Every structure is written in structure tokens, then in C-alpha cells.
Amino acid sequence: MTAKFTGRDEDGVRTVTVVGEVDFANAGELEAEFGDVGARVVVDLLGATYLDSAGLRVLFAQARDRRLELVLRKGNAVEQVVALSGLTGVAAIRYGS
């Protein structure tokens, strides 16, 4: 599966944009985008089409270590996986289009 991960820093906030499918094969690439970041991370999942347990592990780790905000598309498969995993209980959720 393929995905593109793009990170940027602005005003002390690290934003990581995900496009494509996140799975065991590329979850390490997602994790690497966080690097040595500050206290707040935003992960834009609007372009994500698939997220498996390896990707969830990376996101839970970020939520444990800092304030995590996820940007989701309402009603798609990624939003459903995030909700079922319980990640919505430890991360702020924002919906985009």
C-alpha cells in the first residue's frame, strides 16, 4: 500500500498530512514525520483512504506524548476506524471536507 506523508511546522505546531493508505509497511514513515516535535501535533487524515492497526499505534503514541488533533472526513472508512479504536477519547477531532 502506498501513502504520502508531509510534515510542516508553524507556530510551534507540527502538522502531518497523510494521503493514501497507512499500514504496517509504511507506518514507520508516518512515525518519522513527527520527529522531535513540540507539545502539539495535528494529523490531517482528509486524504487518507485506509488506516490499519500499525497506523493507529503511531497515532496513540502521539496522543500519549503530546496533544493530538486529528482532521477527519466525516463518514469515511478512516473516521470509522478512528472512532471504533477509541482514539477519539484521547485526541481532539476536527472534521473537514
Q: Which helix (H) or strand (E) holds 70?
A: strand 67-73
Cα radius of gyration (the chain): 12
Interstrand relation of 40-51 and 3-10 (parallel, antiparallel or unpaired): unpaired
Residues 6+ apart with CB under 8 A from 60: 85, 87, 90
pLDDT, mean over the chain: 95
pTM: 0.95
The string of pLDDT tens digits covering residues 33-80 is 998 778 899 999 999 999 999 999 999 999 999 999 999 999 999 999
